C-alpha cells in the first residue's frame, strides 16, 4: 500500500488534524469544566462563564498546538497574534451559536454551551492549519 505524503493527504487525514483533535478534546474538557464551574459554583452568567472558559482553553491550546501539534520553532509574536485573531473569530461565532440556541431555540444553556464547541473547533483548526501554523512558518515534524 502506497503511503501518502503530507502534501497529498486529504486535510482530515493529516497528522496535524489528529493531534489538533486531541488538543481540542483537552481544551473542550478544560473549557467546559471551567464554564460549568463558573455558572454553578460562582453563579456567573453564560457570557462571562463562556469567556473565562474559552480564555483558559485558548492559552492551553496555544501551548499544546505550538509545541506538539504543529511543532512550531520560529518567532512567537506573529504566530501568537495570528492565533488570537483566529480564536477571537472562532469565539465570536461560538458565542453567537450559544446565544442563538438559548434565545431562539430555547435550549438549556448547558447544552447550548456544548453545541457552541462545534463551530469553534472547526474554525480554530482551519485557521490554525492555514493561517497560524502554515507549513511555510512551522518546523518539520519528527
pLDDT tens across the length of the chain (142 residues): 545 555 555 555 578 888 998 998 998 899 999 999 999 999 999 999 999 998 898 889 999 999 899 888 877 888 989 999 998 999 899 999 999 999 999 999 999 999 998 898 889 889 998 899 876 654 444 3
Q: Would you say 113 and 50 are in contact if contact means Cβ atoms under 8 Å apart? A: yes
Indicate the pTM of the whole model: 0.69
Q: Would you say 49 and 38 are in contact if contact means Cβ atoms under 8 Å apart? A: yes
All three cell numbers of 6, joined, read 503530507
Helix (H) or strand (E) holding 98: helix 76-103
The pLDDT value recorded for residue 7 is: 56
Q: What is the DSSP letter of 129?
A: I
Q: Would you say 139 and 71 are in contact if contact means Cβ atoms under 8 Å apart? A: yes
Amino acid at each position: 500500500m502506497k503511503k501518502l505524503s503530507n502534501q497529498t493527504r486529504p486535510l482530515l487525514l493529516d497528522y496535524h488534524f489528529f493531534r489538533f483533535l486531541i488538543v481540542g478534546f483537552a481544551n473542550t474538557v478544560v473549557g467546559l469544566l471551567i464554564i460549568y464551574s463558573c455558572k454553578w459554583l460562582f453563579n456567573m452568567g453564560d457570557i462571562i462563564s463562556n469567556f473565562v472558559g474559552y480564555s483558559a482553553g485558548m492559552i492551553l491550546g496555544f501551548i499544546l498546538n505550538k509545541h506538539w501539534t504543529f511543532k512550531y520553532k520560529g518567532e512567537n509574536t506573529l504566530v501568537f497574534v495570528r492565533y488570537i485573531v483566529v480564536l477571537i473569530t472562532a469565539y465570536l461565532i461560538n458565542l453567537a451559536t450559544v446565544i442563538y440556541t438559548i434565545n431562539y431555540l430555547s435550549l438549556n444553556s448547558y447544552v447550548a454551551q456544548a453545541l457552541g464547541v462545534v463551530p469553534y473547533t472547526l474554525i480554530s483548526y482551519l485557521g490554525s492549519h492555514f493561517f497560524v501554523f502554515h507549513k511555510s512558518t512551522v518546523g518539520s515534524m519528527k
